[in-house]
Structure 1
Amino acid sequence: MAERILDVQNLKIDFHTYAGEVKAIRDVSFHLDRGETLAIVGESGSGKSVTTKSLMGLLANNAKVKGGRVMFHGDDILQYSEKKMQTIRGKDIAMIFQDPMTSLDPTMKIGRQIAEPLMKHKHVDKKKALEQAVEMLRLVGIVNPEERVNDYPHQFSGGQRQRIVIAIALICYPEILIADEPTTALDVTIQAQILDLMKELQQKIETSIIFITHDLGVVAGMADRVAVMYAGEILEYGTVDEIFYNPQHPYTWGLLNSMPTLDSKHLESIPGTPPDLLDPPKGDPFAPRNPYAMKIDTEKKAPFFKVSETHYASTWLLAPGAPKVTPPAEIQRRQKIYAKLKSGELSRTDVANLAE
Structure 2
Amino acid sequence: MRPKLVEVKDLHIHFKTYAGIVQAVRGVSFELYEGETLAIVGESGSGKSVTSNALMKLIPQPPGIYAGGEILFNGRDLVPLNDKEMAKIRGNDIAMIFQDPMTSLNPTMKIGKQITEVMLQHNAASRSDAKARAVELLHQVGIPMPEKRYNQYPHELSGGMRQRVVIAIALAADPKLLIADEPTTALDVTIQAQILELMKDIQKKRNTSVIFITHDLGVVANVADRVAVMYAGQIVEYGTVNEIFYNPKHPYTWGLLGSMPDLNSSADDLLRTIPGSPPNLISPPKGDAFAPRNEHALAIDYEQEPPMFKVSETHYAKTWLLHPDAPKIPVPLAVQQRIDSYVQEGDDVWNAKKF
Fold match (TM-score > 0.5): yes
Aligned to 1:29: 29
Structure 1, unmatched stretches of 5+, are none
Aligned to 1:315: 319
Aligned to 2:272: 268
Distance 1:244 1:166, change over 3 A: same
SS of structure 1 residue aligned to 2:103: helix
Aligned to 2:52: 52
Q: Which amino acid aligns with 1:352?
A: D
RMSD over aligned Cα atoms? 1.4
TM-score, L = length of structure 2? 0.95
Counterpart Cα distance in 2 of 1:161 and 1:310: 37
Contact 1:216 1:256 in 2 (8 A): yes
Q: Which amino acid aligns with 1:188?
A: V
Deviation string, structure 1 residues 177-218 (Cα, Å, up to 9, x no partner): 000000000000000000000001111111000000001111
Aligned to 1:76: 77
Counterpart Cα distance in 2 of 1:285 and 1:315: 10
Deviation string, structure 1 residues 64-120 (Cα, Å, up to 9, x no partner): 000000011111011111101000100100000011101101111110101111101
Structure 2, unmatched stretches of 5+, are none
Aligned to 1:216: 217
SS of structure 2 residue aligned to 1:122: coil
SS of structure 2 residue aligned to 1:28: strand
Contact 1:245 1:331 in 2 (8 A): no
Q: Which amino acid aligns with 2:52?
A: T
Shift of 1:330: 3.0
Deviation string, structure 1 residues 112-152 (Cα, Å, up to 9, x no partner): 10111110113422221111110000001111111110101
Matched residue count: 347
- Aligned-residue sequence identity (percent) comes to 61
SS of structure 2 residue aligned to 1:78: coil
Contact 1:237 1:311 in 2 (8 A): yes
Counterpart Cα distance in 1 of 2:190 and 2:116: 29
TM-score, L = length of structure 1? 0.94
Q: Which amino acid aligns with 2:13?
A: I
Task: Verify: 1:257 aligned to 2:258, yes or no.
Answer: yes
What are the equivalent positions in structure 2 for 1:126-145 lying under 5 Å apart?
A: 126-145=127-146
Aligned to 1:353: 348
Moved more, 259-268 or 5-14: 259-268
Aligned to 1:204: 205
Shift of 1:329: 1.5
Aligned to 2:151: 150
What are the equivalent positions in structure 2 for 1:230-241 lying under 5 Å apart?
A: 230-241=231-242
Task: Verify: 1:2 aligned to 2:2, yes or no.
Answer: yes
SS of structure 2 residue aligned to 1:127: helix
Which one of 281, 285, 302 corresponds to residue 306 of structure 2? 302
Counterpart Cα distance in 2 of 1:212 and 1:123: 28
